[in-house]
Structure formats: structure tokens, C-alpha cells
Structure 1
């Protein structure tokens, strides 16, 4: 699978901090990064002062910091999101220059947008970019950002939540497959999201918003809808699951909550679809081998 893939992880380890320091010693990486020397000194001081394996709290001072991982679970950069009132500002770095040109930056931007609008509830997302940073300028423009203001030293781009949602529905990202959801499932899941308190519920909301909505009587019989049963290939393992609402889940894969990582992941995909999805500790490659049962195909519209 050659499509670009990035996942953003909020946990920052001591090893991550050392990697960040290496990146920030490369002038090509820091050339357009504001306050890079200050950031590098702060990281070095934190590592020397605090002997802990997890340093997340230090990196989240004044904003939220995420390490960007590729599909092989290798850190390739970072994203920082700083909420200022209703708006949010994004800082993005792909740290190893060997990864430049692989469209990982655009993928990281999409993941950052998802967090900003669905998790942090920003009304507008802003990116301030040096005019000579052509690679970043192009990545943000391709992601739907519009030029808002400029000076000789800085261009400010922005995208508001309304435009983001419209592009999410009308212009799906090239690296993602189209997914489908029935009108009934969408209504039920939206009600669920209003009540659910899980930390990753924004992932489900994102999937619902980007899905193509179809009539329950017209959905293709090989699509994973709510209460469907499917045979999956997760990594090198085959598992049979039923996709259910949280109150019907059993804590295992036999009845898999739609609010769980893999449960959210498979909603709306069809037989033969394959994709990468970040679970809490690793990236999984998932393939929908077969839809064994679908309520709509069986005429069980009450489920």
C-alpha cells in the first residue's frame, strides 16, 4: 500500500524527545520554523531535568503536541495545535528530510484538521507559513486552506469549520476509500456521540461526517453497516466480528463496539477494502474479507 498514511499520537516519550532534538539540529528542518532554537533548548533542559519515560505533560504546556507516525510506527514529524479562543493554530514539521516529497505533510495536516475541528471544536484553523516555504504552502493550499493575510515575512492561511466539513463530504482525500452509512445508522450514531464520553469519539464523528449517506433499502449488501457481521483480516490474523452499539458490546471482538478503535475503523467499508488504522499502541492493516450478515440485506430494518 503506497498511499501516504500518518497517525498522530498524543503520548510523548523520552525517546521521542531525543528524536525531536536530532531533527531540530538540522538547519534544513528548522529553516522556516519559528523559535526552533528556543524549542530545542527547552527539550534539552527537560530531558536533563526530569528523569521520566513519559514527557507528555511538558510538551502540552500552552497547546497540544502530537508525534506523527507513519504506517510502520516510525516517528516522522510532529504537529502542535494551540487553541486561542474559538480559533486554533497548527504548527507542522516533517522532521527527517528523507521523508520530504512523500505527501506525509498533507496527511499530517488532515489528521490535525480532524483533531482541531472534531476534538478541540475550533471554529477556524490557522497556519502561519514563511513565504519561501513552498512545500508547506502547497500542502496547506491543497488541504483547503485559503490565504487570509500576508506580510513580507509571513503568510497566514485559514480554514473554517464550515468549509472543512463541506470539503470533507464533497472532496474526499485521495488516500482514503469512500465509506457508506445508512440514514438510520447516521441518526442513531449522532445521538450516541452526544452522550458518549470516550476520548476517541471524535474519530467516529469524523467517519460519520465523511460518509456517503444512503437509503437503508438501497445500501449495497457488501457494506459493513451497524449490527453487521464481518470476517476481517487484521494484520496477519483473521477475526470474525459483529459491529454493535456500545450497550450491546461484550468487550471482545464477537460483539465489537462501534466506539472502539477497530469498530470505528470498519464502519461503512465494503468487502475487499483495505486500509491502515492507528490503534492505541500500533498501526493496524485491516482488510474486509467478507460481510457475513447485513441487517439491511436480510430485511432486518429494525436492528
Structure 2
């Protein structure tokens, strides 16, 4: 059985806004939202004020807003992240009642945390939840949140960056199979991320942090390491690519930068692994068919 999959996307269209309004009119959805009336009013005003097809800029006033999509690229909810100083409050809704209880909430929380900690660089993420909303409370607790403050009408839960990174390294936050990165590759990739600091690469940093780090001489020969050449299946399309650093990328020679969607997606996986990943704004199923060449197993440790 496939694990739940969620991708968060920042573009908000008028169609999305009408979908959001439908969700906010469902009492089952808004029952525990303390600001449901203000959210509904905000969405309605955004639609009325602007006749343009893209409303992203309106929804990102005072915070960052994302639509949550399932693996079939259907919008199933939303996430709002509001950063104040070092703290970031997360608000999320799974809007389709039929999707409740399928694990989408947990996946949505984990994707929101990735953005809050690795993109927005929050030191703490706060979730404020009604005490009767047992499903949400359990979902956040399973993702590592601890109760910070409790009142008759609101429970405040928090998770700090240090604990988040530790949970990543312990494998608690992963919806995908384990991945492996060599010590040398990790050091080089971290240096690359430091250079790219002005344009955060949350997905790549997330993968590096959760990876099991191994010595180059001990990495299995069927693992996709840097400068490996791999046969993969992208949905139904079979292709052979090389995973390289940005300066070596060459589309004509099928050399994929590790900073690209597909490049980040295949890093560290093994032959036979499959993962859902957002590539060029839509969800793709990626399967590693064969590692044709791997520097470490070929003795090319200088690469």
C-alpha cells in the first residue's frame, strides 16, 4: 500500500479560492478553527477585490499560504505559515472530509515543517489547536510536537529546530524509503547549500539531513551517489541520467543537477526504490531501475 503523499504549492488561483470557500462552509471542517469566520471573510474579499486568475500575492499577505495536493494532483487542503521573529505558527486544514483518517494530515504537517524550518528558518513552530480536536492533537504529537500551554479553549503545541533535525535523522519524519549519502558527498552538498543560501533548497537539505551517512568504501553499489549514472522510470518513461553537481549539468548529455527536482529526488535511493515527487509542478512516480555506474564501486573516489 502506498504511503500518503502531499506536496505544498504556493500558487493560488481563483479556482482554488472557490474551493477554499466551499471547504470553509463545511461545519465539519471549521468546527475547531478558532478563526474560521475571519478566514472565510478573507477568502471572499480576495475573490471580490481581484478579478485576475492568480491570487497568490493576496493570500501571502501576513504569512505564506500553500495549497496541499495529493499524489493525483488534486487539492485536498491548505497550509498557512506565519513567522513572527523566531517563531512560526502553522495552520493547516484537510478540506475534503472523505480524506480524513488516511494519513494526509501527518504528511501535510511534515511538509509544512520542512518549509518552516529549512526554508523560512524558524527556530520554533507553534500549532494552536482546540482541545476537542483529538485527531489534530495526535497528528502533531506524532510529528514531535509537545504541549506548551493549555487552556479550556486552546492547546498550544511547539517543536523546535533542534528536535526537528534530530527526528529527521532518526527517520521519524520520512514518508519515503531510507536513503544513503557518503561522507564526502554530504560534505560537498552541504558546502553547495551554503553557497546557495540566498535561495534555500529545502528539499535537498531535507534529504541530506535524513540520509544515513556511510563511508565511500562501504556504500552499497546499488545506491545513487553523486556522479552516478542511473536508469530510472519516470511514470511510464524509461530514461538514463547522471546525477551531477550544478556546474556539470548538461541537459543534452542527460546530466541532471542535484539542485533540480529530479536530481534531488533520486539522491541516495537504491535500485528498486520508488518515490512520489513533485517534478516541474506535478507529481511524478520515480523508480530506480538500475545504477549503471557508481564512482565508489568503480574505485573512482576522487569524483
Q: TM-score, normalised by structure 2?
A: 0.97
- Could you say which residue in structure 2 is the equivalent of 1:176? 176
Question: Displacement, 1:37?
Answer: 1.5
Number of matched residues? 303
Q: Counterparts of 2:72 and 2:185 in 1: how far apart (Å)?
A: 33
Is the 2:181–2:268 contact (alpha carbons within 8 Å) kept by the matching residues of 1?
yes
Q: What are the residue-to-residue correspondences of 1:142-221 with 2, within 5 Å?
A: 142-173=142-173, 175-196=175-196, 199=199, 201-221=201-221
Instruction: Determine helix, strand or coil for the equivalent of 1:301.
Output: coil
Question: Displacement, 1:279?
Answer: 1.9
Structure 1 segments of 4 or more deviating over 2 A?
A: 171-175, 197-200
Q: Counterparts of 1:249 and 1:272 in 2: how far apart (Å)?
A: 25
Deviations 1:107-163 (Å, cap 9, x if unpaired)?
000000100110000000010000000010000000000011111110000010000
- Could you say which residue in structure 2 is the equivalent of 1:51? 51
Is the 1:240–1:253 contact (alpha carbons within 8 Å) kept by the matching residues of 2?
no
Question: Displacement, 1:174?
Answer: 5.9
Q: Counterparts of 1:107 and 1:46 in 2: how far apart (Å)?
A: 28
Moved more, 249-258 or 116-125: 249-258
Alpha carbons of 1:174 and 1:211: their partners in 2 closer, same or farther (altered >3 Å)? Answer: closer
Q: Counterparts of 1:242 and 1:212 in 2: how far apart (Å)?
A: 21
Q: What are the residue-to-residue correspondences of 1:15-54 with 2, within 5 Å?
A: 15-54=15-54
Q: What are the residue-to-residue correspondences of 1:1-303 with 2, within 5 Å?
A: 1-173=1-173, 175-196=175-196, 199=199, 201-251=201-251, 254-303=254-303
Question: Displacement, 1:175?
Answer: 2.7
Q: Counterparts of 1:202 and 1:252 in 2: how far apart (Å)?
A: 27
Alpha carbons of 1:285 and 1:159: their partners in 2 closer, same or farther (altered >3 Å)? Answer: same
Moved more, 244-253 or 181-190: 244-253
Deviations 1:65-84 (Å, cap 9, x if unpaired)?
00000000000000000001
Instruction: Determine helix, strand or coil for the equivalent of 2:46.
Output: helix
Q: TM-score, normalised by structure 1?
A: 0.97
Unaligned runs of 5+ in 1: none
Moved more, 263-272 or 243-252: 243-252
Instruction: Determine helix, strand or coil for the equivalent of 1:153.
Output: coil
Q: Counterparts of 2:30 and 2:111 in 1: how far apart (Å)?
A: 22
Q: Counterparts of 1:92 and 1:69 in 2: how far apart (Å)?
A: 13
Question: Displacement, 1:48?
Answer: 2.1
Deviations 1:243-301 (Å, cap 9, x if unpaired)?
00000001457100000000000000000000100123200100000000000000000
Is the 2:168–2:174 contact (alpha carbons within 8 Å) kept by the matching residues of 1?
no
Q: Counterparts of 1:126 and 1:173 in 2: how far apart (Å)?
A: 17
Instruction: Determine helix, strand or coil for the equivalent of 2:217.
Output: coil
Q: Counterparts of 2:80 and 2:37 in 1: how far apart (Å)?
A: 16
Q: Counterparts of 2:284 and 2:271 in 1: how far apart (Å)?
A: 17
Alpha carbons of 1:130 and 1:290: their partners in 2 closer, same or farther (altered >3 Å)? Answer: same
Instruction: Determine helix, strand or coil for the equivalent of 2:89.
Output: strand
